[in-house]
Amino acid sequence: MNIVKVELITYTKDGIRLVAESARVSGVPPGMSDSEIVRMIVENDYQSAIEHISFTFDISEMSIAASREFLEHRISSHTGRSTRYNEEEGFGYYIPREIEGNPEALREFRRAMEAANEAYRRLKDLGVKREGRRYVLPMAMHCRYLWTVNARSLINFLGLRLCVRASPEMRELARKVHGIVNNIYPEIFSGIDCRGRIMGVCPENTVREGFPCPYKKGKLRVPTKEEVKKGKDI
């Protein structure tokens, strides 16, 4: 499976104590433990205190298509692999699941990747520099980013990208990142899911066909914003 890889490079150690201390500077009820303070902050959305915790990830094997969505998360720092300074001949690429499961479509897709690679190589033979050759590289090509993000911005990222409306590749990235940070700081991340689930109200009024939302019916049902505004019984 050629899907986005995520490795944690470094993060703020002893973050729960740090956040609790910063909250105490502001003022919290006496007698609360560090963990209780942090859980209370996250639950009540007093989120500036958790900005003191940050994570740095190495994200690789992500498509250029997904990287455009990823880069929209401006409250974080991104350093990307350059196609001006690196040779990309023989590049790896992402295959969408829909194409992977259809042999004829997969053949067509692979042909397109090989054609792009071949054009990239031939342009080199013709003396064109990387800076010019890179324009034939496809959106599916893998890229790599070092990404530093604080816990508050990360919750915003996860809320948006764990949603079934996010693209499958971004959801996979969000799932992997969430798995890592939840292991380190469950006090902050164990209740984190799509933004509808976090806030108890879903701003998305419609679901994407083929991507059923687990929170649209049943015991876990989350009302839509529209329903709440209309005061509808749910």
Ligand X SMILES: Cc1cc2nc3c(=O)[nH]c(=O)nc-3n(C[C@H](O)[C@H](O)[C@H](O)COP(=O)(O)OP(=O)(O)OC[C@H]3O[C@@H](n4cnc5c(N)ncnc54)[C@H](O)[C@@H]3O)c2cc1C
Q: Which residues bind ligand X (CB under 6 A)?
A: 72-75, 153, 156, 160-161, 165-166
Q: Which is nearer to ligand X, 73 or 176 (CB)?
A: 73
Report the nearest approach of ligand X to the CB of residue 156 (Å). Answer: 5
Tell me the residue number closest to ligand X, measured at CB. 74
Nearer to ligand X, 153 or 224 (CB): 153
> Least Å distance between CB 20 and ligand X?
24
Q: Cβ closer to ligand X: 161 or 178?
A: 161
CB of 71 to ligand X, least distance (A): 9
For residue 131, which phi and psi values (nearest 5 degrees)?
A: -55, -35
Q: How far apart are CB 195 and ligand X at their closest, in Å?
A: 9
Q: What is the closest distance, in whole angstroms, from the C-beta atom of residue 154 to ligand X in the complex?
A: 9
Q: What is the 3-state secondary structure (H, E, C) of the chain?
A: CCCCEEEEEEECCCHHHHHHHHHHHHCCCCCCCHHHHHHHHHHHCCHHHHHHCEEEEEEEEEEHHHHHHHCCCCCCEEEECCCCCCCCCCCCECCCHHHHCCHHHHHHHHHHHHHHHHHHHHHHHCCCCHHHHHHHCCCCEEEEEEEEEEHHHHHHHHHHHCCCCCCHHHHHHHHHHHHHHHHHCHHHHCCCCCHHHHHCCECCCCCCCCCCCCCCCCCCCCCEHHHHHCCCCC
Q: What residues are annotated to the active site?
A: 161
**Which CB atom, from 141 or from 149, has the smaller least distance to ligand X?**
149
Angle at 156 (CA atoms; ends 21, 204), nearest 5 degrees = 145
Q: In the complex with ligand X, which residue's Cβ is closer, 37 or 151?
A: 151
Residues 60/34, Cβ–Cβ less than 8 Å: no
